[in-house]
Structure formats: C-alpha cells, structure tokens
C-alpha cells in the first residue's frame, strides 16, 4: 500500500511538472526553503524578528539620529567588547535591526533591538534617541542620495517624500506621548557627542547593569566617528548589503550637530521651525 501511495504521489508530481514546470520548480524551492527555515527556528538559537520578550530593550530613534552608533556602543557596553575591532556585522547580530532581519539569535535573557518604528505595544523598554530634526533631515537627504532615492530637500521637508516612518516631529511627538506607557530613557544625540561616557552611565542605570568607567571610556573611544569610518573600511562596509565596501564609509557623513545651517535654505529652516516647533522647543533646539 505504501509503495502504491508513493507511486501515486510521483505520478501527480510528474503531471504537475509537465503542466507547468516553472511553477512546480518554484513551489519545490519554496517548500524546501520553508523546511530549512522551520528547522532553524526550531533550534535554540533562532527566533523570528517579531518574537520579543517583555524584558527586551529597544533602541528607537528617527533615522539618522545615531541609531547605528548606539548599536555598536551597546554591543561593547553589554559584552565588554573592544569596539575598535567590532565590525558592524557583529553589532548587527548582537543588536538586530527589526527592519533588516527576519530571524535573529538571542544572546541572553534580555535582547536588544534597533528600530525606527512609531510606538508599539510590544516595545515595553525603550532607549529613545533624539537628534535635532533639521540635522537629521539633512543627513537623511544625503543617505537617500547614496541609495539612489531621488528626492529634493523641498519635497522631503514639505511633502515628507522619501521619509520613513513619518516626518521627524511626528515621530518625536508620538514617542513623547508614549501611548503604551513604555519604560523609556531619552538620550539626545547632541549630549552623546558632548559627553558619551555620562550618557552611557545613564544607559547602564536604565538597563540595570554595572560597568566601570574605564570600560565605558574604551567603548566610547572605539566608537568615535573616525573609528566608525575606519572599521567600515577595514571590515568591508556595514552589515547591510546596501552599505558594503566603499559605500560603508559613505554611511557616516560628518557626525556633527548644527550643520543644517549650511545645507538648508532659510525658507526651509523656517518651514521646519514652524511645523516642528513643539518638538524643537521641547528639546531646546530652538528657544
């Protein structure tokens, strides 16, 4: 009986193949791929990227607000890694990007994630990064240009074209409202530039770990702007396929604050100042 059933299955598969060989082969690839994925997910290491635990911590920020920088800082801080030699690919494993990954590995009871999302109920513990929206927008514009996304500054500022997941002020105001009552620490990009050691001490307190000042200083030094660019060159770019090899260096533009004054025309600065006035005033970006 078993032999007969096998022969019937083989005959059906042959008919399917002869009727539409392209679809048959495509279905076969998908079937075996799904088997491999299921096998991976059944292991003790791999989880789907939306599989979080209540104690997990999310590094959230509007794009170009220091998110990649914080990924590397957190990796060194948590696991004592000498960040001078930490390639972005490893930082991406330790602090996976929810937008770039489908599966991830857990390294401990608490896992860290990088995200640009607006508030989500499953994001129960959040380190929220905020940067002057005018600087973030200019950096975002150059980021889009490197990826071949053709949007003008005018379109980005006024129409929100080429922006994800929203305009800057909408993102900041949504997280200030904190609708799901996340346990949240706010870290300003500009404060990280001025005194990263102090800001990482705040992060340690928030995530309830103890790290000596010497380690924090080494983590910061290994992740200064010059070293981030050197690592991108040394290790073949960043972890994402869009930023491999030489492109990896281009990901890091200047890392400074206040440069929007040289890049944004006055009428667009005025537009942003008016539209995003609440968020800009809240963080003392305008008085």
Residues 19 and 112 both lie in one domain: no
Up-side HSE of residue 7: CA atoms within 13 Å toward CB? 4
Tracing tokens 């914080």 back to the chain, one arrives at 70
pTM of the predicted model as reported, rounded to 2 decimal places: 0.81
Instruction: Provide the number of structural domains found in the chain.
Output: 2
Is 287 inside a domain boundary?
no
- Does residue 126 contact residue 184 with C-beta atoms inside 8 Å? yes
Q: What is the mean pLDDT of residues 229-255?
A: 56
Residue 151 and residue 196 in one domain: yes
Q: How far is Cα 75 from Cα 82, in angstroms, rounded to an integer? A: 10
In a domain, 143, yes or no: yes
Q: Dump pLDDT digits (tens) for 178-222.
A: 999 999 999 999 999 999 999 999 999 999 999 999 999 999 998
Q: Is residue 129 part of a domain?
A: yes
| pLDDT at 104 exceeding the cut of 70 | yes
CB atoms within 10 A of CB 218: 17
The confidence band for 120, taking pLDDT boundaries of 50, 70 and 90, is: very high
Containing domain of residue 272, as a range?
Answer: 46-282
131 in any annotated domain: yes
Answer yes or no: is pLDDT of 6 > 80.
Answer: no
* Confidence at residue 116, expressed as pLDDT on a 0 to 100 scale: 97
Please report the pLDDT score of residue 170 as a whole number.
98
**Does 76 share its domain with 56?**
yes
**How do 125-130 and 183-188 pair as beta strands?**
parallel
pLDDT for residue 31? 53
Same domain, 220 and 255: yes
The mean predicted confidence, pLDDT, of the chain is 84
Closest CA to 118 of 69, 156, 166, 158: 166
- pLDDT bin (cut points 50, 70, 90) of residue 144 is confident
């Amino acid at each position: 009986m078993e032999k007969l059933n096998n022969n019937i299955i083989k005959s059906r598969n042959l008919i399917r193949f002869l009727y539409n060989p392209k679809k048959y082969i495509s279905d076969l690839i998908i079937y075996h791929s799904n088997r491999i994925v299921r096998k991976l997910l059944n292991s003790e290491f791999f989880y789907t990227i939306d599989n979080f635990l209540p104690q997990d911590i999310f590094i959230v920020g509007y794009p170009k607000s220091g998110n990649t920088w914080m990924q590397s800082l957190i990796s060194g801080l948590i696991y004592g890694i000498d960040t001078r030699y930490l390639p972005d690919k490893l930082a991406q494993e330790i602090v996976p990007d929810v937008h770039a990954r489908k599966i991830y590995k857990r390294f401990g009871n608490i896992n860290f994630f990088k995200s640009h999302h607006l508030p989500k109920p499953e994001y129960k513990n959040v380190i929220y990064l905020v940067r002057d929206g005018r600087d973030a927008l200019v950096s975002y514009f150059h980021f889009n240009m490197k990826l071949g996304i053709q949007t003008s500054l005018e379109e980005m500022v006024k129409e929100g074209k080429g922006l994800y997941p929203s305009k800057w002020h909408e993102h900041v105001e949504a997280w200030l409202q904190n609708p799901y009552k996340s346990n949240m620490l706010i870290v300003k990009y500009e404060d990280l530039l001025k005194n990263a050691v102090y800001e990482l001490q705040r992060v340690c307190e928030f995530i309830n770990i103890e790290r000596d000042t010497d380690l924090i200083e080494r983590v910061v030094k290994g992740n200064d702007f010059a070293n981030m660019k050197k690592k991108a060159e040394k290790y073949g770019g960043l972890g994402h396929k869009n930023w491999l090899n030489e492109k990896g260096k281009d990901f890091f533009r200047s890392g400074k604050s206040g440069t929007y004054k040289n890049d944004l025309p006055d009428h667009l600065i005025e537009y942003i100042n008016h539209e995003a006035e609440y968020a800009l005033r809240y963080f003392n970006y305008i008085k």
